[in-house]
Amino acid sequence: MKEKSKISKLLVTYGIELVLVAMIIIASALEPSFRSFDNFINVIRQVSITGMLAIGMTFIIINGNIDLSVSGIVGFAGMVVVMMQAQGFGLILSILAVIVIGLLIGVLNGYYVSKGLAPFIVTMATDTMIRGLAYIISNGQPVWGVAKGFDVIGQGFVLGFGSFKGIPIPVIIFGVVAVIAHFTLNHTTYGRTVYSVGGNPEASRLSGISIVKSKIFVYCISGFLAALTAVVLTSRLSSCDPTVGVGFQLDAIASTVIGGTSMSGGEGKIYKTVIGILIIGILSNVLNLMAINPYIQQLAKGLIIFLAVVWDNSKRQKAV
């Protein structure tokens, strides 16, 4: 019985890490090309894009909310950053403008959610509106004409030597974001309020924590990271169209939930979200290498989210 208890505890504590290891082993066995170093770099670079959205989503879900507007922010911010450069506004100004846009949308979402409106409805409405704006300002057409040097953000490498190109800059940006997010959640007063409000909002209010500020804070983080994702993604593409970012919220939520962040709020870790991101990335990569139908890939992602939610619910029931 003690052995079973130890194994159960081990699975609960390190289950997601074991899943990642198992996926790497299985993927390597099923598809030999998966084991190549170039493919590994490709996976890391791919997940770094939606990974930033997942980190923002981790703050949101820990706080007891959801954010469906991130895909719309990516699309709208992407259109704005490219169109501003095409009109001669310059690299820095265009990037700052979309960061401000992301923050303002975060304030809007956070404020109305803090007033008791359903996060699902508020952020879905926001997503629909800003996606519509993306179509309006572009007339539904792709845009291009980025400033010189903008492509380095999404396509550049650092620390290269010999035949090794180096580490992709999007991976560096993602790593820095993950470290800052981990520090913020675990070593700052704001981070502690994120957990507190998500775990027990009434007790948090009675202890003097501002629910409004807490929710605006997490939605601003999510909006900022969605805008940053738009910058990196459009830099990689050197263009943008109104459909960019569609469905990104699915991968962000999936990665967060797979990483063990409780949909009930108050529980979650950034490093486990990163593992969840890698699991989604490896799954997509190996299915693509095996030329699996993309509709089946969508089914697989949905199934993983469902199983992760069931697992989270079973853990909470056992804890009661």
Does residue 1 surpass a pLDDT of 60?
A: no
For 229-278, the pLDDT digits (tens) are 999 999 999 999 999 999 899 889 989 988 889 888 999 999 999 999 99
Amino acid at 319: A
Q: Residue 313: what pLDDT?
A: 67
Q: Residue 165: what pLDDT?
A: 83
pLDDT band at 12 (very low <50, low <70, confident <90, very high): low
Q: Give the residue ranges of DSSP H helices in 63-143.
A: 70-86, 91-114, 119-138
For 108-149, the pLDDT digits (tens) are 999 999 999 999 999 999 999 999 999 999 999 999 888 888
In angstroms, what is the C-alpha Rg of the chain?
Answer: 20
| 3-state secondary structure (DSSP) of residue 239 | strand
Give the burial string for 268-286 (b: 16+ CB within 10 Å, else e): bbbebbbbbbbbbbbbbbb
Q: Residue 188: what pLDDT?
A: 95
**Percent of the chain whose pLDDT exceeds 90:** 65
For 15-56, the pLDDT digits (tens) are 788 888 988 999 899 888 898 888 988 999 999 999 999 999
Name the residue with tokens 């690299």. 91
Domains of the chain (ranges, CATH numbers): 43-306 (1.10.3470)
Q: How far is residue 81's CA from residue 77's CA, in Å, rounded to a whole number?
A: 6
- Would you state the structure tokens that stand for residue 243, as one six-digit string? 């459909």
Does residue 296 surpass a pLDDT of 90?
A: no
Q: Residue 16: what pLDDT?
A: 82
pLDDT band at 79 (very low <50, low <70, confident <90, very high): very high
* Mean pLDDT of all residues in 211-218: 95
Q: Residue 318: what pLDDT?
A: 60
Q: Residue 10: what pLDDT?
A: 63
Q: For residues 241 and 307, which has the higher predicted lDDT (pLDDT)?
A: 241
Q: Residue 236: what pLDDT?
A: 93
DSSP calls for 123-173: HHHHHHHHHHHHHHHHTT--EE-PPTTTHHHHH-EES-BTTB--EEHHHHH
Nearest CA-CA partner of 234 in 76, 104, 100, 106: 76
pTM across the whole model: 0.92
* 166: alpha, beta or left? (left if phi > 0; alpha if psi -120 to 50): left
* H or E, element range at 213: helix 211-237
* Mean pLDDT of all residues in 100-107: 97
